[in-house]
């Protein structure tokens, strides 16, 4: 094993970014800052390629793309990989690297080609690379299977919801309805200064779930959080414990009625697809107004409680699966440390 400069075994390159308006529903996968963001009728990479997110909050995320993919300028492609390096091995080596040492920019984090010139990686023999790929591949396979189990349980909950309450857009069961403004008081979250963003403590929710942790809570009651701006606009999360909510999200600050169980309300709001109310004049965003103007079905509380019990039982199974994922992730980190230092 020897240490080599990343730029001595590949050529980092950014390619032209495709406007969102040109993305399609079918075609070749397009990779941006958050993995696959859509599809296109052309591709710029024939083979699997290591792509490193080089802009924004997910800066430093590593993807091994599918063959025949288009990779936009929001990711740095590791092109022209040396024949002595397996691309899958390079992907694992990049996952093991701490990109915080090369991320620059204050307003928006970024990774540049100049920054990647500082990156050194451990390069094993081709035979050792293959063994490492096989070992880490087995762990990734198990992690992926566990995630599939979680996804199936989520599908089960949604199917149960439809079975009990029907499709919300139709309200074929004839449940009473009220406008959101009659039921809830919505509020935007609050900006959290960078110095208060920690790696443990009270969860900090943005538009896409937990972004950081901090020492104090903004909200102490169970609530529903809705992504307000950007790619995760309209995303829905339910929380029952104290949290901080950033200004990238809207949440229910006050319940004006006790007619809802939080488990039911979360599934209902997710099904209502708030993303359809996003304003596209600039960056996608939603306001409180369309949330207040929607009608929400109000099934009998006994029926909601029955559904909540089903969700809670499913959540227990999900917790067991998640614990297994956590153990596998710990094993992977240990192996990565052993292989890549």
C-alpha to C-alpha distances, 169 to 133, 152, 273, nearest whole angstrom: 47, 24, 10
pLDDT band for position 134 (50/70/90)? very high
**pLDDT tens sequence across 212-269:** 999 999 999 999 999 988 777 888 999 988 999 999 899 999 999 999 999 999 999 9
Nearby residues of 176 by Cβ (< 8 Å), 6 or more positions away: 297, 298
What DSSP state is assigned to residue 197? Answer: -
Of 34, 47, 31, the C-alpha closest to 87 is: 47
Instruction: Give 53's strand partners.
Output: 75
Which percentage of the chain shows pLDDT scores above 70?
Answer: 98
C-alpha to C-alpha distances, 202 to 79, 194, 215, 243, 337, nearest whole angstrom: 40, 15, 6, 6, 28
Of 78, 74, 102, the C-alpha closest to 88 is: 78
At residue 285, what are phi and psi to the nearest 5 degrees?
-155, 155
Task: Return the pLDDT at 178.
Answer: 94
Cα separation, 286 vs 215, in Å, equals 29
SS3 at position 85: coil
Q: How far is it between the farthest Cα atoms of the chain? A: 69
Task: Return the pLDDT at 204.
Answer: 93
C-alpha to C-alpha distances, 11 to 4, 70, 111, 149, 333, nearest whole angstrom: 14, 17, 14, 38, 27
**pLDDT tens sequence across 141-152:** 999 999 999 999
pLDDT band for position 281 (50/70/90)? low
pLDDT band for position 91 (50/70/90)? very high
Q: Kindly state the average pLDDT of the residues 126-142.
A: 97
Q: Assign residue 60 a region: left if phi > 0, alpha if psi is -120 to 50, beta otherwise?
A: left
| Mean pLDDT, the chain, integer | 92
Task: Return the pLDDT at 85.
Answer: 96
At residue 209, what are phi and psi to the nearest 5 degrees?
90, -155
**pLDDT tens sequence across 15-34:** 999 888 899 989 999 998 88
pLDDT band for position 135 (50/70/90)? very high
């Amino acid at each position: 094993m020897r240490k080599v400069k990343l730029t001595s075994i590949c050529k980092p390159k950014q390619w032209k970014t495709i406007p969102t308006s040109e993305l399609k529903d079918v075609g070749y996968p397009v990779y941006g800052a958050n993995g696959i963001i859509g599809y296109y009728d052309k591709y710029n990479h024939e083979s699997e390629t290591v792509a490193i997110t080089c802009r924004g909050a997910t800066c430093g995320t590593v993807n091994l793309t599918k063959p025949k993919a288009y990779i936009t300028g929001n990711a740095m492609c590791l092109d022209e990989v040396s024949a002595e390096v397996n691309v899958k091995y390079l992907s694992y080596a990049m996952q093991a690297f701490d990109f915080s040492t090369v991320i620059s920019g204050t307003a928006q984090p970024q990774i540049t080609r100049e920054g990647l010139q500082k990156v050194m990686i451990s390069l094993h023999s081709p035979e050792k690379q293959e063994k490492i790929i096989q070992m880490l591949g087995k762990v990734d396979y198990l992690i992926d299977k566990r995630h599939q189990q979680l996804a199936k349980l989520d599908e089960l909950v949604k199917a149960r919801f439809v079975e009990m309450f029907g499709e919300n857009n139709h309200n074929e069961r004839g449940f009473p309805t009220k406008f959101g403004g009659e039921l809830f008081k919505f509020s935007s979250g609050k900006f959290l200064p960078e110095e208060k963003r920690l790696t443990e403590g009270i969860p900090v929710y943005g538009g896409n779930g937990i972004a950081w942790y901090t020492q104090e809570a903004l909200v102490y009651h169970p609530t529903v959080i809705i992504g307000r701006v950007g790619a995760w606009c309209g995303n829905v999360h339910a929380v029952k414990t104290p949290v901080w909510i950033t200004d990238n999200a809207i949440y229910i600050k006050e319940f004006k009625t006790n007619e809802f169980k939080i488990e039911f309300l979360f599934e209902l709001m997710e099904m209502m697809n708030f993303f359809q109310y996003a304003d596209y004049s600039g960056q996608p965003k939603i306001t409180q107004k369309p949330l207040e103007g929607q009608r929400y079905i109000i099934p009998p509380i006994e029926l909601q409680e029955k559904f909540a019990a089903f969700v809670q039982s499913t959540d227990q199974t999900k917790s067991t699966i998640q614990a297994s994922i956590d153990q596998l992730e710990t094993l992977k980190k240990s192996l990565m440390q052993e292989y890549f230092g």
